[in-house]
Amino acid sequence: MNQLDALKAMTTVVADTGDFHELARFAPQDATTNPSLILKAVQKPEYAHLLAENRQRWHGRGLDERMDRLIVRFGCETLAHIPGRVSTEVDARLSFDTEAMVTRAQQLIELYEAEGVHINRVLIKVASTWEGIEAARRLQARGIATNMTLLFSFVQAVACAQAKVQLISPFVGRIYDWYKARAGAAWDEAAMAGASDPGVRSVRRIFDYYKHFGIATEIMGASFRNVGQIRALAGCDLLTIAPALMAELAASAAPLARALDAQAARDADVAHVVYDEIGFRYALNDDAMATEKLAEGIRTFAADAVKLEALLRD
């Protein structure tokens, strides 16, 4: 058994790509997309027809609608290659507007339903700002499952659990990036690998907290930089992995041990915490890494959405 198959025996493997042609190669359960991944995919020759189709069919419609129709088209094509769910992201430029996020999410679901896709096969991705978490709370109450993205801290994870969201996506690799850049020449890659990786430690803390208190929200580690981070989180509910890293796992026949244990977390000594809006904002502000990476992530996704809009205009 290769390591990818071994991982699938203990963790739901999710493909992190906008290139749906790659999915059959690795047979993931679910798939995730974001504006950056779709922008990358749509510029490949094999996807040029999707842009042309969008321009022809929806010419004259509002740009927001055309953007949503494009990403839903990618989502529908993705669902044709997987048995599970696809995650589709609300425009990052709405990350501080609860009402706008709720409205846009409902529009995305309506577009999926118009294509014959059942609501239970779609996760709506929302940024883990306070406003985004409140939007997710409202969406969940209306039967729309959410995937909380751009999550970098324990406080965000706790607030998402309080909102009873379906799934959170802590960004392992971007946490790692921040600490590595901060350390500069003092960074010791070997010493900070595996279970010592700061991104891995962040997910382990969230995992232990969720499992200890029986929180139903799913945890999906995301944004990996190397297979060592993935191996160190084997046993997590889900892991969303880029095709290149899945290929690396599939090429290895070395044994893969479970790294996260829900039963051990239930038996651990873990303190319960609650955050209201003021407490959330203060705790997030107090975490320089999470504050900076959240802001950077929103800016990056927003910039790629603008680039995608430019392609639609052309």
**pLDDT per residue over 157-193, tens digit each?**
999 999 999 999 999 999 999 999 999 999 999 999 9
- Catalogue the active-site residues: 125
With cut-offs at 50, 70 and 90, classify the pLDDT of residue 235: very high
pLDDT single digits (tens) 39-74: 988 889 999 899 889 989 998 899 999 999 999 999
Structure tokens belonging to residue 69: 């129709």
Per-residue pLDDT, 48 = 87
Cβ partners under 8 Å of residue 105, min gap 6: 90, 124, 126, 135, 139, 144, 146
The pLDDT value given to residue 11: 98
Torsion, Cα 136 138 144 148, to 10 degrees, reads 0
What is the rounded average pLDDT of the residues 214-218? Answer: 98
Going by DSSP bridges, is the β-strand pair 30-32/218-221 parallel, antiparallel, or unpaired?
Answer: unpaired
pLDDT digits (tens, 9 = 90+) for 261-298: 999 999 999 999 999 999 999 999 999 999 999 999 99
Instruction: Place 206 in a pLDDT band, splitting at 50, 70 and 90.
Output: very high
Q: What is the pLDDT of residue 37?
A: 87
pLDDT tens-place string over residues 102-146: 999 999 999 999 999 999 999 999 999 999 999 999 999 999 999
Q: How many CB atoms lie within 10 A of CB 173?
A: 17
Task: State the chain's mean pLDDT as an integer.
Answer: 96
Q: What is the pLDDT of residue 314?
A: 62
Would you say 100 and 127 are in contact if contact means Cβ atoms under 8 Å apart?
no
Measured CA to CA, the distance from residue 177 to residue 290 in angstroms comes to 12
Name residue 304's amino acid. Answer: D
Q: Are strands 167-170 and 218-221 parallel, antiparallel or unpaired?
A: parallel
All domains of the chain in start order, with CATH: 3-313 (3.20.20.70)
Whether 271 and 255 have beta carbons less than 8 Å apart is answered as: no
Contact 21, 27 (CB under 8 A): no
